[in-house]
Amino acid sequence: MCGITGWVSYDRDLTTEHGTLAAMAKTMVCRGPDDDGVWLDTHAGLGHRRLAVIDVDGGKQPMGVERGGRTLLVTTYSGEVYNHRELRAELAALGHSFRTASDTEVVLHAYLEWGADFVERLNGMYAFALWDPREQELLLVRDRMGVKPLYYYPTADGVLFGSEPKAILAHPSVRAAVDTDGLAELLALTKTPGHAIYQGMKEVVAGHVVRVRRRGLTTRRYWSLEAREHTDDLVTTVDRIRGLLDDIVTRQLDADVPLCTLLSGGLDSSAITALAHRELARQGAGPVRSFAVDFAGQSENFTPDWLRGTPDAPYARALAEHVGSDHRDIVLDTAALMDRAGRDAVLNARDLPTGFGEGDVSLYLLFQAIRESSTVALSGEAADELFGGYRWFHSPDQVRSRSFPWLSPVGPRGGAGGRPSPREAMLDGGLLARLDVPGYRAARYREALAEVPRLDGETGLERRMREICHLHLTRFVQFPLERTDRISMATGLEVRVPFCDHRLVQYVFNTPWKAKTFDGREKSLLRAATRDLLPVSVADRAKSPYPSIQDSRYDEALRGELRAVLADPGAPVRALLDSDAAQRVIASASGVELRIGSEFVLGLDDWLRRYDVVLDI
């Protein structure tokens, strides 16, 4: 893992711009606490912050390949290529020699051997830039599922790029500006591929390559989900999924630094923890270390609600005892969640207000604690999107909804189909009219549906569920992936996501919905594929989202902070609010409406202040 950045300018000499590249890279020191580097050429500069995971001593970056005193290729690279050993052996047989054991060097030689098509051979999570001095061109590459972030900002004579927006915003020619389209994207929760919120900035779309040449920028898709006929019977399907998971987890345990798993006690993280423990035991390297987040007094005083029926802690402990993992609960309280240092760190990590306040802060504090003993963690993220875990996959009304299913009204919240969502409830009515968030969502939904690959003759529920699965694997999954990447890297922790292996994603995507729900429950295939590894209580546990603190003092603390913002004449967010609506939230809102609404407004105010944002609305 790492933070990467760079600048290509065909009309100026960048060899004197070391200070600018170093400043851009410095914004991501948390992504790479172990080392830094800058490489400069006449028209290109690359910056790097390194988190050492593979070949700790030899993997310094930016890294180049030289022959005869001439630089052939140089890269600034983030992520992991899990099949680097096989590729290294293949390249060595073709005559390539290596001076390090890093996967970064394998990527360089793969490009030299196979050209730009080499990306189709990679298995992993990665985002990197390759500068070819011979052709004077840059490639920006992002992994198939978009696990690793990569942003770019086209200029009149080239491009700026970085793992995070803050690296680009650190360039003296870029301002933090957001227009109506950017603000609508922030509010709409549609996760439009390529949209970066900030004016002029874009995100490299998952599975794409951006090529930068003197004559301009072009993009190429090298991977996408395809509709293929699924011919395996149920038993074969379950066996195939298990075989893939065995291989994926084994590959993702490759690290030269301490490693652990994230364990919530749900099916997804429990399966990964059990698989990792079994493989480490086979290697003689166990037991696996596992970590979970909990809140003070929550297990003893838990109150079920419409969203969460059970606390996580008992199930996490049951799995840990079942497999024999070295388990630790990270217990937090309201004071920790409201501490300004954690909230500031989250905003700096995210570069945007998210409205996920306590969820993001608790995740940050969890990762911070894990980082004291581990550098890499395996996560169960993306299993819900892949196997159909969310409740809206199984709600006939939400399945029939002609919008993104996660935006349909559910439980006690408002949503796209009725009253304003909690994120919009305190915003000025005139502003909302200008933004037209419902119209923005509708346009993005039409675009998303147009991308769905289909099988000839596919109709009815199977056709609709293919659409819903595609929406989740191309849009919704980006929410948890971005959240996990940004917050983990803010602590210098690399989180790997086995369920995002493109082989597994492609296979499960094409498995019929009737097979995905063959036992009448969510995630039927995953449960069947891993049941032998799990205690019955965990295997049969119903889906429960990421935990939320059940402490009324947290809600009161939010009310107090919201009152303070409304009373502050210098608060920049006040110009965007309906003060009467905000007062009503303070007076009477509770639960999700209070938390999401308040945390979004508070985050919006912090963001406008700290990033000196210009709103062109």
Catalytic residue among 2, 30, 469, 500: 2
- Cβ-Cβ contacts under 8 Å for 518 (sequence gap 6 or more): 234, 524, 525, 528
Answer yes or no: are the C-beta atoms of 36 and 54 closer than 8 Å.
no
Q: Tell me, what amino acid is at 271?
A: A
Answer yes or no: are the C-beta atoms of 212 and 160 closer than 8 Å.
no
The closest alpha carbon to 589, from 426, 465, 358, belongs to 426
Q: How many other CB atoms are there within 10 angstroms of residue 157's CB atom?
A: 12
Answer yes or no: are the C-beta atoms of 37 and 61 closer than 8 Å.
yes
Q: How would you write 104-137 as a 3-class SS string?
A: HHHHHHHHHHHHHHHHHHCCEEEEEEEEECCCCE
250-284 in b/e burial notation, b at 16+ Cβ within 10 A?
bbbbbbbeebbbbbbbbbbbbbbbbbbbbbbeeee
Helix H or strand E segment including 367:
helix 357-370
Q: How far apart are CA 604 and CA 315, in angstroms?
A: 36
The closest alpha carbon to 317, from 381, 372, 377, 263, belongs to 263
CA dist 216 → 72, 132, 137, 139, 159 (Å): 22, 15, 10, 12, 9
Q: How many other CB atoms are there within 10 angstroms of residue 66's CB atom?
A: 10
Q: What are phi and psi of 560, to 5 degrees?
A: -65, -40
Helix H or strand E segment including 9:
strand 2-9
Say if strands 35-40 and 70-81 run parallel, antiparallel, or are unpaired.
Answer: unpaired
3-22 in b/e burial notation, b at 16+ Cβ within 10 A?
bbbbbbbbeeebeebeebbb
Does residue 2 carry a catalytic annotation? Answer: yes
| Catalytic positions | 2
